[in-house]
Amino acid sequence: MYYCYLETPIGDLLLAGDEDALSLVSFPKGSMRRDPEDDWIYNEKPFAVARQQLGEYFAGARKDFDLPLRLNGTEFQLSVLDALQQIPYGETTSYSDIAERIGRPKAVRAVGAANGRNPIPIIVPCHRVIGSHGDLTGFGGGLDTKEALLRLEAENSQFPHVI
């Protein structure tokens, strides 16, 4: 596995994957923070396009990502990650809405758990999922990071939603 870091306004992101696909984006803090494993190799080259697209995102110039991703998980988890990728830039939705979209309306807590295990945040936009009453709920990068991402998108969206 290769890895590198990307300096961003929310701190240095850890990117990891292989020559073919990105498999991890880790925040610099929070419950889902990861460090490179001992056998990982530092190499920026496999992440050139991801670094460029993330840079454009943080500059407010990119609304969608076009990157090869390697997502792992159960069929249910993958369906949640797919649903997350359908949330438009600058918009938010609730865990119950995601549960409805995937045909599992009673699985709200399981949707929350799958959302919380998202290995590629920002690109798979789990930060766009909020509580049913509009509250910012738990986030693997910390609530201040979630708020910063939502604010960035609101400021650069054609139809900003104030948070």
Residues labelled as active-site residues: 126
Measured CA to CA, the distance from residue 161 to residue 163 in angstroms comes to 6
Q: What's the chain's Rg over C-alpha atoms?
A: 15
Q: Count the helices and strands in the chain (H runs, E runs).
A: 5, 6
Residue with tokens 């936009």: 125
The CA distance from 156 to 104, in Å, is 32
* Phi and psi torsions of 56, nearest 5°: -65, -40
